[in-house]
């Protein structure tokens, strides 16, 4: 396992030299120190969460895989873009609170919110799957694609009923996981529905 970790660190170091974000650079340094010293405490922590690697990046933010060591669970941390750093983010807190109380099989579960160096983040369940765009481009039965689209619609409808309007609903913001589809809200153009 240590060899796998070192290879992973080396691969991330090569890619980090190309276009590192501040958070990615900090995480890489922590992972390198942890590998060299054997001290897990050197890994980059955001609140109580230990960053493991970047999962994706979009126009609204970056999603990282992280571990919650208190309960030994993998989670996803979604950080809003740097342009939101230091701005009023009460909308994000309100949205996270609303979604945290909303339990639906087609909506990603929200566990926590926080702030790291002025950048707000949302802690969500770690999903395994692929975005709807990738899913739709692969050869598959029409009924499977239709089932994914219907599930996306159900998740979107449930969010709307709870007062959350998804301001950036598109295939790259929808995950298809184990024949269930989850939507990930983006932190932009939010409105309350009445």
Residues recognised as catalytic: 168
CA torsion 192-63-104-74 (nearest 10°) is -140
Residue with tokens 């369940």: 125
Beta bridge partners of 54: 64
Contact 28, 14 (CB under 8 A): no
- CA 141 from centre of chain: 28
- CA 156 from centre of chain: 18
């Amino acid at each position: 396992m240590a060899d796998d970790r070192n290879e992973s660190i080396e691969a991330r170091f090569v890619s980090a030299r190309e276009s590192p974000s501040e958070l990615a650079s900090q995480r890489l340094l922590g992972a390198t120190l942890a590998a060299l010293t054997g001290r897990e405490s050197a890994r980059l922590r955001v609140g109580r969460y230990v960053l493991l690697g970047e999962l994706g990046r979009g126009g609204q933010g970056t999603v990282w895989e992280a571990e919650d060591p208190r309960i030994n669970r993998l989670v996803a941390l979604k950080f809003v873009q740097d342009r939101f750093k230091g701005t009023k983010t009460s909308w994000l807190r309100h949205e996270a609170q609303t979604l945290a109380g909303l339990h639906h099989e087609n909506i990603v579960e929200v566990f926590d919110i926080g702030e790291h160096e002025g950048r707000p983040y949302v802690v969500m369940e770690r999903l395994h799957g692929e975005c709807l765009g990738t899913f739709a481009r692969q050869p598959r039965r029409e009924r499977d694609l239709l089932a994914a689209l219907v599930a996306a619609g159900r998740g979107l409808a449930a969010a709307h009923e709870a007062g959350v309007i998804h301001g950036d609903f598109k295939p790259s913001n929808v995950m298809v996981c184990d024949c269930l589809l989850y939507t990930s809200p983006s932190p932009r153009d939010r409105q309350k529905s009445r």
